[in-house]
Copies of this chain bind each other. A is one copy, B any other.
Amino acid sequence: MKKVQRICAITHILTENPNKDFSLGYFADKFECAKSSISEDIKMVRETIDESGYGYLETTSGAKGGVRYVPYISAEETKEVLLQLRDKLLEPDRAIGGGFLYTSDIMFDPKFAKGAARIFAKRFASIDADMVVTVETKGIGTALFTAELLNLPLAVIRHESKVSEGSTISINYFSGSASRIQQMSISKKGIDKDCRAIVIDDFMRGGGSMTGIYNILNEFDAKAVATGVVIVAGGKENKKIEDYVPLLILHDTAAPFTIELNEELYK
């Protein structure tokens, strides 16, 4: 195998497996060449990937030396993703009334969900976490891609307690959006005890649903170490929770509604 082909193959494998460690020995065995050659190849791959703006390589040296591809999104591209999301949300006919926006098509479009996830994955890359947690349904797309990019498992809290979940932990919470008490439920096997969770959701108004997720985590002695929300309504005021990263801020108390980008993410 020629050097250029090795470089191409290494790029391909690393890109397909974000945040997964590969030893130099893995590539040396695969391509039947010396670790020193692989080390040179990876240097070349690193330079190119660094320039791409899509990610960068982290290497560890020593006997167990290896390399991982860490996805990244530049400030410029972050802004572009946020603008595209905003423009999509501002399309006519999305306002349903009662302060609701139709967003299902956006939240489940792999392009938008992955764009949002790339921003969260970059922001939370250095946080020591064991899993990503969301509550069904519309946040699942962004949460799943975030989990993929960070190489973590995903736990999805359900609204109903399903027989296929076995024994479950359930909590009640007050949903401001629905103006009523709702339930959340997850299998007792769903979240590891004492784990550190990155919480992702698609929408937050008062924070009732997010408080519900935190209470579920508490039942497992688990902890939210970071929280990301795609759309937060109404600014920072009157939220039951304090520390979260929004992508977009929806101002909908006056018509027509407006959408503000979270500038912190690209400044």
Q: Which residues does A use to contact B, with CB under 8 Å? A: 3-5, 7-9, 11-13, 15-16, 44-45, 47-49, 51-52, 54, 93, 96, 98, 100-105, 108-110, 113-114, 136-137, 140-141, 144-145, 147-148, 151-156, 158, 163-166, 178, 187, 189-190
Contact = CB atoms under 8 A, between A and B. Distances in A.
Contact of A12 (B3, B44, B49, B114): B49
Contacts of A189: 93, 102, 105
Contact of A155 (B16, B101, B105): B105
Interface of A is mostly: helix
Contacts of A101: 164
Given A137-B156, A163-B178, 20 more contacts: A4-B4, A5-B47, A7-B7, A8-B48, A11-B11, A11-B12, A12-B15, A12-B49, A15-B16, A16-B54, A100-B163, A101-B164, A104-B155, A104-B165, A105-B155, A108-B153, A109-B153, A109-B154, A136-B137, A137-B158
15 contacts: A5-B44, A11-B15, A12-B48, A12-B54, A13-B54, A100-B164, A102-B164, A102-B165, A102-B189, A104-B187, A108-B154, A110-B144, A110-B151, A141-B154, A144-B144
B154 A52 contact: no
Nearest to A160: B159
B105 A153 contact: yes
Which 4 residue pairs across A and B have the least CB separation, nearest first?
A: A110-B148, A8-B48, A108-B154, A96-B166
Contacts of A151: 110
B44 A187 contact: no
B13 A153 contact: no
Contacts of A147: 108, 110
A147 to B, nearest CB: 5
A52 B12 contact: yes
A153 B52 contact: no
Given A48-B9, A49-B8, A144 B108 contact: yes
A52 B110 contact: no
Contacts of A11: 8, 11-12, 15
Contacts of A105: 153, 155, 189-190
A141 B146 CA distance: 12
A164 B108 contact: no
Nearest to A3: B4
